[in-house]
Amino acid sequence: MWRKSLDGNPSVAAKANRETGRRVAFVRGINVGGARSLRMDELRRLAAAAGFHNVTTLGASGNVLYSSNRPPTVDARKLTDLLVTQLQKATIVVRTASEMERIVRTAPFVKPDPSVPDKWRFVALLEKASEGLLPDLPAASPVKFAGRSEREVFYTMSEPTSHAIAMVARLERNLGTSLTVRNWNVVRTIAEKLNTP
CATH, domain range 105-184 = 3.30.70
Total Cβ atoms within 10 A of residue 73: 12
Are 4-100 and 105-184 equal in CATH topology?
yes
Instruction: Name the 3-class secondary structure at 156.
Output: strand
Residue 123's closest CA among 106, 96, 140, 103? Answer: 103
- Rounded CA gap, 122 and 104, in Å? 12
- What residue segments make up the domains of the chain, in order of their start? 4-100, 105-184
Residue 61's closest CA among 88, 31, 87, 91? Answer: 31
Q: Report pTM.
A: 0.84
In tens digits, the chain (197 residues) has pLDDT values of: 222 233 334 444 444 444 459 999 999 978 665 567 888 999 999 999 999 999 999 998 899 999 999 999 999 999 999 999 888 888 999 999 999 999 999 988 766 667 777 678 899 999 999 999 999 998 888 888 999 999 999 998 887 777 777 888 999 999 999 999 999 999 999 999 999 87
CATH topology of domain 4-100: Alpha-Beta Plaits (3.30.70)
